[in-house]
């Protein structure tokens, strides 16, 4: 029996060694992680084949199929598909977009597997802006530059929200890897009946004063928000950090520097501004999403924190006059010093387009540009997408009068984001997932502690956690 | 006379009846525990989005107006078009059936060989299977996809029937060698009295005859058990189909994959849709289950080994 | 896996007699039989090697490399560096890996007995055939076919942390069922995990046990009854010895299955503890499936192999323990009776 086991083990070992040899032969020399800062691309990892056929200035597309992988899901996906169908109808026999949806958690690893193995790879990627850096570092996506140049289809970054388009290079010099699509964050809607003659607050002091007044007058908790719900902890705390002048990491080495001299006060001010609303009884500490909604629908709350894609549902559920519900902006609401430029910032996520490196045919690349351009300029597409709660990042659309006149845009989205250039996402880094998840945990720890004297220790502790994770990724 | 007999019987009969009542009570309690989550699932799937938010304490919708079947009708008409779900259903059906057949066939062969045939390396083979069960399968995902992709690209199978069959080969075949099923079948075969087989053999029966006349009828219940396990696993598998089928035509999707298109993380309806699609996906499983479950157990008592 | 031991011996004994009689003819037919046997398992082995052996072996090979599946330029052979790193307890990730064993073992220690006892008694009661027992049997098994995601959605919503959860809204409380950290304040989470696991997993063993109960010849119970054996005596002396082989298989599978604790802890958590690895499988899954950790794939594969070795170790121990049990019980009265009994039935069967 022992001999047999030895046999098995030796067979196993042999197999391992053989496989190791095989696999090791395939591998080239090791290359470390791409460091922080701007880089030049020494050697292009993508290729281009074929020629563009033009008819005058227009590119001729001949039945090009584009596989689009997107993180859009659920009811948004239905709306997204309708938009895509409209495009396909308009470009019948020329371009056909085939969308498929993957959950956000699985998007990167799945798409990366498919692209790196060149099997089932999507041609066009639509995911959150902050995810693209690591895809580019792994050499899985390619820039738009060549296609734009050769096809003459313009995708000028100046036409997009400044806070988003500045990330398009992903820190590769002179490259345009992504095109922003839209923006979303936690937003605020309010009850006009309860607001009465009062003006909407334009800074933190006004917010507190107004809420106190309303609370006293109407005997209600004026802010309905679920402080422990995903959308709240994902967006509101980060907005507060930005408004107080904080940053999420040190751009020179990608490490979290939350406890640095520059950031510590900003982080403390951020949590203090949220906590004040709770300690002053203007907002409940741990309201459930259902209770918050019930309070707002029952005219028992002035402000309601909600994801933009749920606004439509809230309006439908509201039994009173829908016009009594308006949109408000969070600009300056959490800033200790409202005079700073950064006090206007609103933090959120943004979808963006990127091209897989597996696309080689230049006509296909041009077709991708055509679709991206259409998506960011076509009014009906923009309106449909706005009704799904996604405000366009393209100035061509936001400055278009018929787009701006649309109810959802005029009464809500433009109110949430008065200046799209103030909309921010996480800066360029391959570790955005790590910052994001530990920032969420930091927020929750601090709000649960509810004790300002612990904040500093919490910030230091979570900074260590996130930097440990980053060190782990770079272990080898 | 009749009465008297009844009284004679009554002692053990009373005992049995008492047992049955006790057993019934235990089962009733168990039924609440095991059944309640299903009720919750069913209820949530027909609650309106608003009701899901405002009335978490209710199992079923709070009022008549809050019942919604939109999620279910959405499976057939989606975004104004007829959904591809029926096709996805057929894809799932044939691939699952193929997986089940292959698994059962392989398990029967292996179990028969291991129990009734003497051959070299038998013990090594079984021992290896036992040990290999310990290797976490997840480390295989990336290499497996790399293999899938390399062969696919080498053969140039990018579209058409060839690509479809190739993908489904990778959906069907890898799951068919589950070690647990082999052990289950082997264990069942081992419980077949060897004397029957030996006497049949000495009567000049061939292996095929022994297999068909003796082993197969006896193994029926275990086969059904494996059918159910495999059906369930294949029907519900998501991660791997997602990897090899995404980006392909919608009409190639499996049902479980197609249903994920209806659930998402971006709206209130998330819970409702998840529940509805799971109820929907459970229907075929329920049918298979209802067909197999009674035979799975009762089959054992009617196999001829004992009455 | 064990019930055949007696039979094997029996068969072997009869074989020996045969062999003595016709040695030469035996040799030839043996060779033919051996070839036949291997031909039977050949299809299985072929598929197994291609689809179930090669990919994990490649995974094992990765454990000796710095391997990034998405960027082949990143691949290089590093020898045992990954294994050295696993035992470098200064690395937070290694600490996280080893501490995940602790929580998993507690889970196994509590869960394995539960997963045998509960199905055992449910199967015992179902075997009394109370009215509607077919329905009950179906109902208890059915949660098994529900996918893990759905199980997570159902129980996650039932035990949601604020008043939007079903249980909390019933109790009027705001208990954070699913939050907390291991060894600190997450007892409730494990209670929920056990409840969910019992709901989800009881069925398989229940069905198997119920089938095994049926397999026990009624005559043995009757014999035991005549000897004045009560309910417990019947369970102890008739039921348990007779279904031991089944229990062995189940126990083995439960243990292996529970060592691989994954689904429940992935779906039943709060986002605050979603990044705390409470089982090695969770650890491996998390770091292998998350794109941002692609560069440490080699290390995680090494962790997976370490974990596999631990599982193998346990399964070997358990099988040994069960093996001893088997030899001892062979000589008990019950088994002799059982064997004699089976003999009788066999004759009946072959007659009929």
ipTM for the predicted complex comes to: 0.83
pLDDT at A24 over 50: no
Amino acid C118: pLDDT: 93
B267 band by pLDDT with thresholds 50, 70 and 90: low
- Of residues A123 and A117, more confidence is placed in A123
**Pick from C250, C146, C201, C211: which is nearest to B232 by CA?**
C146
Structure tokens at A172: 């590769």
Amino acid C335: pLDDT: 34
Distance of CA B203 to the CA centre of its chain: 39
Distance of CA C336 to the CA centre of its chain: 30
A303, A415 contact by CB (below 8 A): no
In A, which residues are within 8 Å of C309 by CB distance? none
- How many Cβ atoms are within 10 Å of B29's Cβ, its own excluded? 10
C:53-82 residues touching chain B, CB 8 A cutoff: 53-56, 58-60, 62, 69
Beta bridge partners of A184: A349
Amino acid C85: pLDDT: 93
**% of residues, chain B, pLDDT over 70:** 88
**Cβ partners under 8 Å of residue C136, min gap 6:** B27, B30, B31, C126, C130
Beta strands A423-424; A346-347: pairing state: parallel
- How many Cβ atoms are within 10 Å of A339's Cβ, its own excluded? 8
pLDDT at C262 over 80: yes
Q: Testing the interface with B: which of C11, C35, C64, C146 to mutate, by most B Cβ within 10 A?
A: C146
Concatenated DSSP letters for A130-144? GGHHHHHHTT-EE-S
Place of tokens 């082999």: B182
A:302-361 residues touching chain B, CB 8 A cutoff: 307, 309-310, 313, 317
DSSP 8-state secondary structure symbol assigned to residue B177: G
C51, B141 contact by CB (below 8 A): no
pLDDT at A21 over 80: no
B253, B91 contact by CB (below 8 A): yes
Tens digit of each residue's pLDDT (9 = 90 or more) over A72-94: 887 788 889 889 999 999 999 99
Tens digit of each residue's pLDDT (9 = 90 or more) over A158-185: 999 998 988 899 999 999 999 999 999 9
In C, which residues are within 8 Å of B53 by CB distance? 164
d(CA A34, CA A40) in angstroms, rounded, equals 11
Give phi and psi for A250, each to the nearest 5. -85, 115
Interior/surface letters B154-179, b for 16+ CB within 10 angstroms, e for the rest: eeebeeeeebbebbbebbbbbbbbbb
Interface A-C, measured as beta-carbon pairs within 8 A, has a size of: 129
* B40:C59 CB<8 A: no
pLDDT at A115 over 50: yes
* B138:C55 CB<8 A: no
A129, A350 contact by CB (below 8 A): yes
pTM tops 0.90, yes or no: no
In A, which residues are within 8 Å of C66 by CB distance? 30, 476
Q: What are the distances in angstroms from CA C345 to CA C56, C210, C212, C240?
A: 46, 21, 17, 21
d(CA C237, CA C242) in angstroms, rounded, equals 8
pLDDT at B142 over 50: yes
Q: What is the 3-class SS of A30-95, one letter each residue?
A: CCCCCCCCCECCCCCCCCCECCCCEECCEECCCCEEEEEEECCCHHHHHHHHHHHHHHHHHCCCCE
- Of residues B283 and A333, more confidence is placed in A333
What mean pLDDT is predicted for residues A222-236?
Answer: 88
B172 band by pLDDT with thresholds 50, 70 and 90: very high
Interface B-C, measured as beta-carbon pairs within 8 A, has a size of: 283
Judged by average pLDDT, the poorest of B45-54, C161-170, C210-219, C333-342 is C333-342
Distance (Å) from the C-alpha of residue B286 to the closest C-alpha of chain A?
Answer: 26
**Cβ partners under 8 Å of residue A164, min gap 6:** A129, A180, A183, A350, A352, A393, A423, A425
Across A400-467, where does the E strand assignment appear?
Answer: 423-424
Which residue of A81, A101, A288 is in closest CB contact with B79? A81
Beta bridge partners of A361: A49
**Cβ partners under 8 Å of residue A220, min gap 6:** A194, A214, A295, A300, A301, A302
C293, C111 contact by CB (below 8 A): no
A285, A461 contact by CB (below 8 A): no
**DSSP run (H or E) holding B192:** none
Amino acid A1: pLDDT: 44
CATH homologous superfamily of A57-183+349-424: Periplasmic binding protein-like II (3.40.190.10)
Q: Note whether A102 contacts B: Cβ–Cβ < 8 A.
A: yes
**Pick from B249, B280, B255: which is nearest to B93 by CA?**
B255
Structure tokens at A35: 């460091």
Same fold, A57-183+349-424 and A187-347+431-473: yes
Amino acid A120: pLDDT: 87
C:262-301 residues touching chain B, CB 8 A cutoff: 280-281, 284-285, 288-289, 297, 300-301
Q: Classify burial at A239, counting beta carbons within 10 Å of its beta carbon; exposed 0-12, middle 13-18, buried 19 or more.
A: buried
Amino acid C348: pLDDT: 36
pLDDT at A307 over 60: yes
C334 band by pLDDT with thresholds 50, 70 and 90: very low
Q: Mind listing the domains of chain B with CATH numbers?
A: 2-68 (no CATH), 83-301 (1.10.3720.10)
- Of residues B56 and B3, more confidence is placed in B56
Q: Where are the domains of chain C?
A: 90-351
Structure tokens at C254: 């439960």
pLDDT at C9 over 60: no
Please provide the CATH number assigned to the domain covering C90-351.
1.10.3720.10
What mean pLDDT is predicted for residues A254-275?
Answer: 94
- Of residues A402 and C3, more confidence is placed in A402
* A114:B53 CB<8 A: no
Please provide the CATH number assigned to the domain covering A187-347+431-473.
3.40.190.10
Nearest CA in chain C to A475: C296
A392, A375 contact by CB (below 8 A): no
pLDDT at C324 over 70: no
pLDDT at A260 over 80: yes
Give phi and psi for A423, each to the nearest 5. -80, 130
* A475:C78 CB<8 A: no
pLDDT at C11 over 60: no
**Cβ partners under 8 Å of residue C324, min gap 6:** none
Tens digit of each residue's pLDDT (9 = 90 or more) over C17-68: 666 666 777 778 888 888 888 889 999 999 999 998 999 898 889 899 888 8
Q: How many CA atoms lie within 13 A of A251 on its CB side?
A: 10
Tens digit of each residue's pLDDT (9 = 90 or more) over A405-449: 999 999 999 999 999 889 999 989 999 989 998 999 999 889 888
Amino acid A33: pLDDT: 65
Q: What are the distances in angstroms from CA B281 to CA B67, B278, C25, C148?
A: 20, 5, 57, 13
d(CA A113, CA A120) in angstroms, rounded, equals 9
Distance of CA B229 to the CA centre of its chain: 4
Q: Classify burial at A199, counting beta carbons within 10 Å of its beta carbon; exposed 0-12, middle 13-18, buried 19 or more.
A: exposed
C47, B176 contact by CB (below 8 A): yes
Amino acid C352: pLDDT: 29
d(CA C104, CA C115) in angstroms, rounded, equals 15
Q: Note whether B145 contacts A: Cβ–Cβ < 8 A.
A: yes
Handedness of CA A401, A407, A412, A413 (dihedral sign): negative
Judged by average pLDDT, the poorest of A264-278, A410-424, B229-243, C250-264 is C250-264
Distance (Å) from the C-alpha of residue A25 to the closest C-alpha of chain B?
Answer: 16
A184, A391 contact by CB (below 8 A): yes
C40, B113 contact by CB (below 8 A): yes
Amino acid B81: pLDDT: 65
Tens digit of each residue's pLDDT (9 = 90 or more) over C72-109: 777 889 999 999 999 998 899 999 999 999 999 999 99
What mean pLDDT is predicted for residues A451-455?
Answer: 89
Which residue of C52, C130, C138 is in closest CB contact with B177? C52
Q: Where are the domains of chain A?
A: 57-183+349-424, 187-347+431-473
Neighbours of chain C (3+ CB pairs under 8 A): A, B
In B, which residues are within 8 Å of C44 by CB distance? 106, 109-110, 177, 182
Amino acid A250: pLDDT: 92
Q: Which of A56-60, C191-195, C244-248, C307-311 has the highest mean pLDDT?
A: C191-195
In A, which residues are within 8 Å of B273 by CB distance? 74
C211, B297 contact by CB (below 8 A): yes
B79 band by pLDDT with thresholds 50, 70 and 90: low
Amino acid C240: pLDDT: 80
Interior/surface letters A93-132, b for 16+ CB within 10 angstroms, e for the rest: eebbbbbbbbebebbbbbbbbbbbbebbbbbbbbbbbbbb
d(CA B145, CA A473) in angstroms, rounded, equals 23
Q: Note whether C61 contacts A: Cβ–Cβ < 8 A.
A: yes
C215 band by pLDDT with thresholds 50, 70 and 90: confident
Tens digit of each residue's pLDDT (9 = 90 or more) over C219-232: 787 777 777 777 78
Amino acid A163: pLDDT: 87
Give phi and psi for C13, each to the nearest 5. -60, -45
Q: Testing the interface with B: which of A79, A100, A234 to mutate, by most B Cβ within 10 A?
A: A100
Amino acid C322: pLDDT: 64
d(CA B264, CA A388) in angstroms, rounded, equals 14
- How many Cβ atoms are within 10 Å of C171's Cβ, its own excluded? 12
pLDDT at B9 over 70: no
**Pick from C75, C65, C91, C79: which is nearest to A473 by CA?**
C91
């Amino acid at each position: 029996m022992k001999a047999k086991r030895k046999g098995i083990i030796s067979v196993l070992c042999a197999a391992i060694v053989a496989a190791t040899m095989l696999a090791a032969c395939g591998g080239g020399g090791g290359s470390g992680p791409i460091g922080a800062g701007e880089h030049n691309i020494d050697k292009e990892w993508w290729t281009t084949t074929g020629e563009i056929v033009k008819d005058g200035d227009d590119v001729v597309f001949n039945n090009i199929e584009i596989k689009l992988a997107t993180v859009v899901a659920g009811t948004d996906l239905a709306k997204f598909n309708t938009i895509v169908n409209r495009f396909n109808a308009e470009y019948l026999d020329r371009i056909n977009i085939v969308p498929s949806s993957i959950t956000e958690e699985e998007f990167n690893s799945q798409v990366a597997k498919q692209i790196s193995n060149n099997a089932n790879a999507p041609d066009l990627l639509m995911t959150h802006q902050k995810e693209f850096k690591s895809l580019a570092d792994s050499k899985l996506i390619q820039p738009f530059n060549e296609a734009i140049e050769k096809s003459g289809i313009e995708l000028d970054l100046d036409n997009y929200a400044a806070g988003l388009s500045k990330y398009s290079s992903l820190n590769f010099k002179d490259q345009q890897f992504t095109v922003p699509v839209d923006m979303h964050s936690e937003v605020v809607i309010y009850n006009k009946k309860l607001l009465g003659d009062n003006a909407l607050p334009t800074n933190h002091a006004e917010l507190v004063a107004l809420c106190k007044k309303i609370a006293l007058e109407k005997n209600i908790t004026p802010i309905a928000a679920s402080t422990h719900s995903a959308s709240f902890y994902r967006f509101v705390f980060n907005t507060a950090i930005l408004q107080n002048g904080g940053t999420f990491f040190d751009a020179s080495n990608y490490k979290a520097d939350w406890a640095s001299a520059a950031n510590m006060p900003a982080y403390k001010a951020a949590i203090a501004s949220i906590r004040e609303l709770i300690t002053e009884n203007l907002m409940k500490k741990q309201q459930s999403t259902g209770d918050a909604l019930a309070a707002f629908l029952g005219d028992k709350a002035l402000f309601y924190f909600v994801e933009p894609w749920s606004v439509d549902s809230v309006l439908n559920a509201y039994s009173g006059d829908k016009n009594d519900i308006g949109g408000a902006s969070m600009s300056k609401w959490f800033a200790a010093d409202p005079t700073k430029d950064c006090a206007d910032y609103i933090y959120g996520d943004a979808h963006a387009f990127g091209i897989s490196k597996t696309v080689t045919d230049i006509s296909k690349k041009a077709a991708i540009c055509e679709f991206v351009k259409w998506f960011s300029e076509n009014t009906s597409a923009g309106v449909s997408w706005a009704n799904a709660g996604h405000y366009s990042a393209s100035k061509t659309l936001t400055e278009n009068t018929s787009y701006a006149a649309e109810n959802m845009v005029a009464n809500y989205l433009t109110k949430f984001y008065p200046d799209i250039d103030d909309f921010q996402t996480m800066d360029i880094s391959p570790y955005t997932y790590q910052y994001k998840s530990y920032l969420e945990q930091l927020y929750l720890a601090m709000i649960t502690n509810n004790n300002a004297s612990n904040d500093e220790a919490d910030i230091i502790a979570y900074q260590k956690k996130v930097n440990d994770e980053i060190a782990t990724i770079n272990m080898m | 006379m009749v009465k008297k007999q009844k009284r004679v019987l009554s002692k053990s009969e009373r005992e049995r009846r008492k047992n049955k009542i006790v057993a019934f009570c235990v089962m009733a309690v168990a039924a609440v525990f095991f059944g309640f989550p299903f009720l919750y699932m069913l209820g949530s799937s027909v609650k309106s989005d608003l009701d899901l938010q405002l009335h978490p304490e209710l199992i079923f919708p709070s009022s008549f107006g809050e019942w919604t079947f939109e999620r279910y009708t959405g499976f057939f008409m989606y975004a104004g078009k007829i959904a591809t779900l029926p096709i996805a259903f057929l894809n799932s059906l044939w691939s699952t059936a193929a997986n089940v057949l292959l698994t059962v066939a392989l398990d029967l062969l292996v179990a028969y060989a291991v129990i009734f045939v003497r051959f070299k390396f038998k013990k090594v083979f079984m021992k290896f299977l036992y040990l290999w069960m310990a290797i976490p399968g997840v480390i295989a995902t990336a290499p497996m996809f790399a293999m899938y992709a390399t062969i696919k690209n080498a053969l140039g199978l990018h579209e058409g029937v060839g690509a479809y069959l190739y993908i489904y080969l990778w959906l069907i075949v890898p799951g068919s060698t589950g070690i647990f099923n082999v052990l289950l079948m082997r264990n069942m075969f081992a419980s077949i009295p060897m004397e029957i087989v030996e006497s049949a053999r000495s009567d000049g029966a061939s292996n095929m005859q022994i297999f068909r006349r003796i082993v197969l009828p006896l193994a029926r219940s275990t086969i059904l058990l494996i059918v159910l396990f495999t059906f369930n696993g294949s029907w519900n598998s998501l991660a791997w189909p997602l990897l090899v089928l995404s980006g392909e035509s919608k009409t190639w999707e499996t049902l479980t994959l197609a249903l994920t298109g209806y659930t998402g993380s971006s709206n209130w309806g998330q819970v409702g849709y998840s529940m509805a699609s799971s109820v929907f996906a459970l229907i075929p499983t329920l049918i298979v289950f209802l067909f197999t479950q009674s035979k799975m157990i009762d089959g054992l008592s009617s196999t001829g080994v004992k009455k | 896996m064990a019930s055949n031991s007696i039979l094997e011996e029996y068969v072997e004994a009869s074989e020996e007699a045969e062999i003595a009689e016709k040695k030469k003819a035996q040799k030839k037919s043996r060779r033919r039989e051996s070839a036949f046997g291997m031909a039977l398992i050949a299809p299985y082995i072929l598929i197994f090697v291609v689809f179930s052996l090669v990919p994990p072996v490649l995974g094992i090979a990765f454990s000796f490399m710095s391997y990034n599946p998405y960027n082949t330029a990143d691949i290089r052979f590093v020898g045992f560096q990954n294994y050295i790193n696993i035992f470098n307890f200064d690395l937070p990730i290694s600490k996280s890996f080893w501490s995940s064993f602790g929580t998993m073992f507690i889970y196994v220690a509590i869960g394995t007995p539960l997963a045998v006892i509960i199905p055992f008694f449910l199967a015992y009661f179902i075997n009394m055939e109370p009215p509607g027992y077919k329905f009950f049997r179906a109902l208890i098994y059915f949660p098994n076919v529900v996918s893990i995601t759905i199980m997570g959605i159902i129980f996650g919503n039932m035990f949601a942390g604020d008043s939007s959860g079903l249980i909390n809204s019933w109790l009027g409380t705001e208990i954070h069922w699913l939050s907390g950290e291991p060894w600190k304040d997450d007892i409730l989470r494990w209670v929920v995990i056990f409840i969910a696991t019992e709901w989800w997993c009881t069925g398989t063993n229940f069905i198997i046990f119920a089938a095994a109960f049926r397999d026990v010849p009624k005559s043995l119970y009757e014999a035991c009854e005549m000897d004045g054996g009560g309910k417990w005596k019947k369970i102890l002396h008739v039921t348990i010895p007779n279904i031991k082989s089944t229990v062995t298989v189940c126990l083995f599978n439960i243990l292996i299955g529970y060592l691989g604790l994954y689904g429940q802890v992935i779906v039943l958590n709060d986002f605050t503890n979603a990044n705390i690895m409470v089982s090695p499988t969770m650890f491996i899954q998390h770091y292998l499936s998350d794109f941002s950790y692609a560069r440490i794939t080699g290390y995680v594969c090494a962790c997976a192999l370490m974990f596999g070795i631990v599982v193998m170790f346990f399964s070997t121990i358990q099988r040994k323990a069960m093996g001893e049990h088997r030899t001892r019980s062979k000589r008990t009265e019950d088994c002799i009776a059982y064997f004699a009994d089976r003999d009788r039935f066999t004759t009946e069967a072959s007659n009929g």
